[in-house]
Amino acid sequence: MSENAANICFNVPDIILWIAHFVDSSDSSTLSVISRTTRCAYVTLVDELSREISCHIVDVPSLAEFLSERTRRAGKLDCRSTEIIGKECFYSDPRELESNQALAKILRLVSEYQTLQTFYHHAWDETDTFLCLPKEIFHALGHSSNSITTMNITAHPCNWDTLFTIEFKVMRKFQLALSPGDTRTECGRTEAGTPIHRSNVSNFLQNMGQLTHLVLTISSNLVGDLDITKLRFPNLESFDLSRDFASPGLYCFVARHMALQYLHLHFKTGHIPSPFRDYHLPELRALKMNGRNTNTLATFLGKKDEVATITCARRPRLEHLRIHDVDRLYYLNVYVLPLASQLRRLDLHFFFRSPPFEIEFGSFLASFEVLVELSISFEPRLVVTLVEDPHSQTFSALTLRTILRYMDNCSSLKALHLCDTETYPLLIEDLQNLSPVPKSIEFISWRCYNEKQVFRVVHDQATMSAHAVPFNLPLNTKEVVHDWRNENTIQTYFSS
């Protein structure tokens, strides 16, 4: 797990030693200068540490003492963001009670100044490991309901009833994952989660009238067939829903929000004929979907025997398409190829392992005229084994050159992303004398079995070829509410 930036900076002794290297020992005034500099750095970093909090749950008692003392001295507490990194099965840890009481204390203290804008509670690995949050945490969090605008919680159902009584009326970005199954053995509490009345969930969400970004993961039988038919968010721009099955109310909800620009719907079961019409979601710009849900989302894709201009006329603003579990090239030619003249980002995740890089796939890629980023990845096998024969790998240096050749005439392509967890890292010699290559390409990223490599492409106008050199991406700002559009992109570093 990467350390929070504030914690990295907050190593005052190292800062002092670094500054000391520049001190002129023959100048007596330098001692006072370094003292003042160190004091200013200390004050600044303490302010930053108390403004953007990131703390493991076991260290929360110490954090509570620090913030209490900080508040006593400064007379205020300007805490804007709180990230708590939880611990799975913490109920069996003797430190649980003290840590939870300290967290509730912090939240009550922060609420006195109504400065808290972001709250993020997650497991250390940031996956869907469902953590138990006691009622006192939710009660304390509720005191900041008029200031919190961004929140992400992955919680057991045991205390949903407390969470759902809070009215977060200024919430703009919200992410909630609801735990599957029975929670008696998962959270260790005597009272297990009980089925939640569906209206409680709906009413809880409806109070967030200013929402622009909503992410829901619902796979619990405690929720049942959640009905979101009547929910209405006038400013909703992005909706991301993953659940076991689709409910009729979902279609009404999506269709009603005509201003939606970014949509991700994923259902594990069900091949339901599309309830969406051509006039639904006229502002849609980005769509993430699974190949098995194609029937449901057919109106947002191309159609068999449909002229490409008609497809683009139906979806004139669609510029980013991400499809998981593509199982055959025919699928791409029917549903994706008609959008080739307008897509700027295309992310393809193949379900099968056999290489699709034949001439027909090359013809498919060469059809994209304005593509800026292209991503291709493969489904890992249940048992990941690094193949010994480089020629049997799905991705290889030869594959990279082949794709670059296919895209040679795309004058807008700036980044190519390839991902296969069963292949080898690229060597520098693999990236010499790249030709042909799109003249506009600037970056190549390569994710293999143990790392992700990023390379900057350097063009040689004299030889009409290129080579690539390693490029170190700076750490990204932590994303509280997940935005799938930010996955696997480096557009921030593109030249204008």
How far is Cα 90 from Cα 223, in angstroms, rounded to an integer? 25
Instruction: List the chain pLDDT tens, one digit each, 496 residues.
Output: 344 444 444 455 555 566 556 655 555 566 565 566 555 655 556 666 778 888 999 999 999 998 998 888 888 889 999 999 988 778 788 999 999 999 999 999 999 999 999 999 988 766 667 788 889 999 999 999 999 999 998 877 778 888 889 999 999 999 988 765 444 445 666 554 455 555 678 889 999 999 999 998 876 555 555 677 788 999 999 999 887 777 667 778 888 899 999 999 888 765 565 678 888 899 999 999 988 888 878 888 988 888 999 999 999 999 999 999 888 888 899 999 999 999 999 999 988 766 566 778 899 999 998 999 999 998 776 554 544 444 445 678 888 999 999 999 999 999 999 998 888 899 999 999 999 999 999 999 999 877 899 999 999 988 889 999 999 988 777 789 989 999 889 988 898 6
DSSP 406: H
pTM for this predicted structure: 0.84
| Secondary structure of 244-267 as H, E, C letters | CCCCHHHHHHHHHCCCCCEEEEEE
Sequence-distant (6+) residues with CB within 8 A of 31 are 23
How far is Cα 496 from Cα 167, in angstroms, rounded to an integer? 43
How far is Cα 289 from Cα 236, in angstroms, rounded to an integer? 19
How far is Cα 245 from Cα 229, in angstroms, rounded to an integer? 15
How far is Cα 280 from Cα 259, in angstroms, rounded to an integer? 10
How far is Cα 360 from Cα 353, in angstroms, rounded to an integer? 17
Cα-Cα-Cα-Cα dihedral of 275, 280, 285, 286, to 10°? Answer: -10
Residue matched to tokens 């006593």: 72
How far is Cα 268 from Cα 291, in angstroms, rounded to an integer? 11
DSSP 315: S
Q: Which residues pair with 321 in a beta bridge?
A: 287, 346
Is the distance from CB of 291 to CB of 267 less than 8 angstroms?
no
